[in-house]
Amino acid sequence: MKSGFLVINKPKGITSHDVVSIIRKKLGIRKVGHAGTLDPFATGVLVVGINKATRLLEFFQTEKKTYYVKAELGIVTDTFDIEGKVQEKNEVTQQHISNLKDICFSFVGEYLQVPPAYSAKKYKGKKLYEYAREGKIINLPPKKVKIYQLSNFSQEGQEFSFNVEVSSGTYIRSLIM
């Protein structure tokens, strides 16, 4: 049986695990894995290993990753992403908007980040989002992450976007909240 990598452009609406399941079924191969979870609402590159190549996926997971981020000011959801239920709506002033770019760029460098409750990070064999959906919030210790750079910052009204290059394990939803 052949081994190798597939570079998949994951569409919105399916999980990274869904992609793995589809590949397993289409190729009739059981040993398939991916090099990092993308949220169901996220689109982008998902590196998938097949057979013996799955052993090499850990080396991809430690590499820098680049994301295109788009967010809206003044809204807080229970999941800290676009799919959550709105918990708060706050007024956005011109002062907030004028400070926005400086605030975003202040994250460049190393810092400790707590994995969000709605993430695929596992605790005792179960994903954090599964606990969160049951109303149980698990607080894991913070992990050192690094924001290498932000670029292409854009802001229009209450929406802003940018590209960000980050270390492995960085949660973009935690950066935005």
Catalytic residue among 39, 78, 81, 102: 39
Place of tokens 């990753």: 65
* Strand-pair partners of 166: 65, 147
CA distances (Å), 115 to each of 28, 83, 90, in order?
34, 18, 24
Active site residue 39: yes
Strands 143-156 and 126-127, sheet pairing: unpaired
Question: Under DSSP, is residue 76 helix (H, G, I), strand (E, B) or coil?
Answer: strand
Rounded distance between C-alpha atoms, residue 31 and residue 50, angstroms:
6
Q: How many CA atoms within 13 Å lie on the side-chain side of 107?
A: 25
Contacts (Cβ under 8 Å, ≥6 apart) of 31: 50, 51, 52, 54
Catalytic residues: 39
